Amino acid sequence: MEKRNRIHIGPTGLIAKRSERKGIMKCPPSRAGAGNVRRPPSPLIPLLLIIAGAIAITVGVLQGEALVVLKKATLICLECIGLG
């Protein structure tokens, strides 16, 4: 039977190769400082979601849905405490 190197995830979560015949863990070379600098994510998507939410709330208020939601919430609350 041929002995092969296997992938092992250590207690720190790092992936290391473990040689079965020697019992030695060999860690892959670090990529830190190799020019792999991550840019911060673009704030465009969260900004678009906030704008879409504000538009939806505005349309709902203009159509009078806020009063309907308030009436339903009041009815449910009164039913919960046994008054409705």
pLDDT tens track of the chain, all 84 residues? 555 556 656 566 555 554 444 555 555 555 555 556 777 888 899 999 999 999 999 999 999 999 999 999 999 999 888 886
pLDDT at position 38: 79
- Tell me the C-alpha distance between 80 and 74, whole Å: 10
- Tell me the C-alpha distance between 18 and 30, whole Å: 17
CB 17 within 8 A of CB 7: yes
What secondary structure letter does DSSP report for 2?
-
Please count the helices (runs of H) and the strands (runs of E) in the chain.
2, 3
pTM above 0.75, yes or no: no
The full length of the chain comes to 84
Q: Quick check: helix, strand or coil at residue 27?
A: coil
pLDDT at position 82: 84
pLDDT at position 83: 81
